[in-house]
Chain A
Amino acid sequence: MTEALIVRGLNKTFAKPAVMDLDLTVRAGELYALLGPNGAGKTTTLRMVAGLTRPDKGEVEIFGVDARKDPAGAKALLAWAPDEAMIYDKLTPMEYLEFVAGLWNIEPRAAKARAEALLEQLGLTAEAGRWCEGFSRGMKQKVALAGALIHEPKLLILDEPLTGLDAAAARLVKDMLRARVDAGGTVILTTHILEVAERMADRIGIIAGGRLLAEGSLEDLRGMAGQASGRTLEDVFLQLTAEGHA
């Protein structure tokens, strides 16, 4: 199995260290959940991977492409969907998807067909011609997700993708992400809903204080925490992060 993402010795300091000597490897075709308490460094890490924040030190490689040496090559392979949807209030979802497809230089006819399919899949076809400014937070998140998927990225990075979604929309998004991974795509997500990570993720990384505390499948993490099988991810997470702080 090839590596979708390799992060080595990643460091970032703002007023205080946010990420310290972080090493992370995500395999191609897996769904990786990055968990951590507030201020753990999850978003900063993912922003550095996406090329939005410049690391002080360290290397990021996406499908073998060095993100520092060839940022455009690395960006062409990934999509980034933060918790605040990156959309335009006065564009319709269709116009937004046209713009995003243009940024990734997707052939217009193929992009249009894919946009229509995505809007259909996300239940937004009826809203395709409406400006986004009146949309609920959940609808905006869905439009942003469609934007992230329009260029069929090999690596999809999502920061809190289920924020603001109702139960049905959350299920829809989870199903779409799972289907994407089953089809060979790679997904990295952060979430505060541990149940989502527990049910969906192939592997889980737990980060606190800018350091990776533990990584592996749920069983691996239980083993690291010295907890019996049957304990929830929440138990494991709370124990590992408490030990990390100690």
Chain B
Amino acid sequence: MIRFQPASIPWLLAHELRLTWRGFVSGRKSRGPVSMIALAVLVVMALIAGVSIALAVHGRQIPIVPLSIAIGDFVLAVILTLMLSTGLAAAADVLYERGDLDLLFSSPIAPRKVLFVRALGVAVNAATWFVIPALLLVGPSIVHGHPGWAGLFGVLAAASLAATGLGLLLAMALFSLIGPRRTRTVAQVLAALIGAAFFLATQFRNLLGKQASESLFAHIARAAADGRFKPPPHADLPLRAALGQPIPLLILLAIGVGIFLVAVRALGRRFADAAAATQGAEHHKAARRPARAFAAGAFRATVRKELRLIGRDAALISQVLLRVLYMVPLALVLARAGTHQQAWTLAGPAAAVAFLAGQVAGSLAWLTLSAEDAPDLLAVSPTPMATLRRAKLFAALTPVAALLAIPIGVLAWYHPLAALWTAIGAGLTAWSAGLINVWHQKPGRRADFRRRRSGSVLANLAEIGIAFLFAAATALAVAGWLVWAVIPLIVAGALMMALRRTDEQIAAALRAAARSSN
């Protein structure tokens, strides 16, 4: 029971956090006991690691030198980037997700207060993902001789407040620039780009074609160790704050709170108007071009429908874009290694391409097969389910084939045989991920895309394991060790056979799922 003054900020925040917590708990419950056990094991392992760290660092102090400053700044930059990515996506959701917004706006509570609480909820959510692991890993050290390290939580709070404020400002800037209809899509894509930005930055030297083996961080760390790296003024603030020095900590907190308050204050007046403007704003404008000819037959009509729905799904596009971004450096590495005609140097990137192909295919196959919006329409039609499944699988694999064209096309130019093995490996990985999604469908809603892994734990693990095996086979084949490549292929094939379900078994599983959801 909430004991705060009704309609006050703490009361609203408690309400917001209660809903978030219940969403998290129900999500965990729906994943079954295996998920709870896995979480418990993870917590215990992290705690053991934390205790080990505490024992190892007992009586030692972290020196404030260029190398430790560089590490501190690097870690904070990663955290801030990830938080900004989450914050931007969540800020767009604050405007668009109706939830209880209509109820709150119809009440006498000021819209500014509603925005403040919503934004605070976003900040708390963003911080939680880092605070919990930090608590497990650093908590034992805080208790065992390093109480000052509790400053880390202040740094995380400052980072989450700043990231949320920046996310809100960015979302509202997009709102003003491109209007409510496109803001959500662009915000989600931008959030994915920001999330990947740090990865791309670390690969900057690869992208520029300098020494392929050294990342940006490795370069800075080496320069710091050699004494050539001179941190800019105040670059030591994050490290000093995390170690518990009060002034740096207060400065960072003031910056975080300041950005957050400026954003909330600047947007407070416009929040209600903006949120109201989003209602129905995502609706597509009527197309002016004449309609295309209708597709002939159930297979083609289903493929066309699924491709349309994939192309119109902003969350999905941002996820796929993220994986494509990861493919760009891989393609460049492949190109550079290919120019040297050294097949074995291509093995790792080729395996990564195959693995990523499986990941994208799995996501798309979940959408086309499990997230069907009108299952009764398909069930009542005379088209056999097997035909519909084939069409949906085909639709899921088509974009994957288009994405694979980038790295494989580059590779084929320099090293056709390696390109062939990569294409076969990636094709097999994508196809297996699709088939597992056919056999182990878990009906869900498109809106639950980010939580699609909440289905069968066994099937999810198998999907990742099989993708890993096919990726290993690809690497071995590209490296020229064809005989060895057969081993992971056989294991993957055996796993696929074990996972296989007949049409009757799929139908029975779907009926059981429908019964349990009723």
A residues with CB within 8 A of B: 14, 50-52, 54, 71-73, 75-76, 78-80, 82, 86-92, 94-95, 98-105, 107-109, 111-112, 115, 126-131, 133-134, 147
Contact = CB atoms under 8 A, between A and B. Distances in A.
A72 B377 contact: no
B381 A75 contact: yes
Given A102-B300, A103-B301, A105-B297, A128 B286 contact: yes
Interface stretch (B114-122, B199-207, B305-313): B305-313
Contacts of B383: 72, 103-105
B291 A94 contact: yes
Counting chain B CB atoms within 10 Å of each CB, the highest count among A54, A102, A111 belongs to A102
Interface string B274-298: 0000001011111110010111111
A51 B291 CA distance: 33
Contacts of A50: 380
Contacts of A71: 382
B297 A102 contact: yes
Closest 10 CB pairs of A and B: A102-B301, A134-B283, A129-B287, A131-B284, A108-B294, A103-B381, A86-B374, A76-B382, A86-B377, A129-B286
A126 B376 contact: no
Contacts of B112: none
Contacts of A147: 377
Contacts of A112: 291, 293-294
A122 to B, nearest CB: 16
A130 B284 contact: yes
Contacts, number: 119
Given A127-B286, A130-B285, A104 B294 contact: no
Contacts of B300: 102
Contact of A102 (B280, B298, B308, B518): B298
Given A72-B382, A75-B382, A88 B305 contact: yes
A133 B96 CA distance: 14
Contacts of B495: none
B302 interface: yes
Interface string B256-275: 00000000000000000000
A226 B173 CA distance: 72
Contacts of A131: 283-284, 312
A108 B305 contact: no
Contacts of A54: 511
10 contacts: A51-B380, A52-B380, A73-B382, A90-B309, A90-B312, A94-B291, A95-B305, A103-B298, A105-B297, A105-B298
A152 B164 CA distance: 54
Contacts of B288: 129
Contacts of A14: 518
A89 B312 CA distance: 10
A184 B438 CA distance: 41
Contact of B373 (A72, A88, A127): A88
B208 interface: no
A14 B516 CA distance: 12
B378 interface: yes
A111 B294 CA distance: 7
A177 to B, nearest CB: 19
Contacts of A78: 380
Interface in B382-408: 382-384
Contacts of B285: 130
B282 A133 contact: yes
A106 to B, nearest CB: 8
A101 B374 contact: no
A87 B293 CA distance: 20
Contacts of B304: 98-99, 102
Contacts of B38: none
Contacts of B497: none
A92 B298 contact: no
Contacts of A91: 305, 308-309
Contacts of B294: 98, 101-102, 108-109, 111-112, 115
B379 interface: yes
Nearest to A96: B305
Given A71-B382, A95-B305, A133-B282, 5 more contacts: A87-B374, A98-B295, A102-B298, A108-B294, A130-B284
Contacts of B297: 102, 105
B357 to A, nearest CB: 25
A107 B376 CA distance: 23
A93 B304 CA distance: 14
B282 A102 contact: no
Nearest to A97: B294
A98 B301 contact: yes
A107 B293 CA distance: 11
A147 B518 CA distance: 26
B184 to A, nearest CB: 12
Contacts of B286: 126-130
A108 B377 contact: no
A91 to B, nearest CB: 6
B376 A101 contact: no
B313 A90 contact: yes
B305 A51 contact: no
Contacts of A128: 286, 291
Contact of A101 (B301, B312, B518): B301
Contacts of A115: 294
Contacts of B287: 92, 129-130
Contacts of B302: 99, 102-103
Nearest to B292: A98
A90 B308 contact: yes
Contacts of A130: 283-287
B280 A108 contact: no
Contacts of A111: 294
Nearest to A98: B294
Nearest to B284: A131
Contacts of B382: 71-73, 75-76, 103-105
Contacts of B380: 50-52, 75, 78-80
Contact of B376 (A80, A98, A129, A134): A80
Given A86-B374, A109-B294, A134-B283, A52 B379 contact: yes
B77 to A, nearest CB: 37
B284 A108 contact: no
Contacts of B298: 102-103, 105
A115 B296 CA distance: 14
Contacts of B381: 75, 100, 103-104
B107 to A, nearest CB: 25
Nearest to A113: B294
A108 B518 CA distance: 37
A25 to B, nearest CB: 21
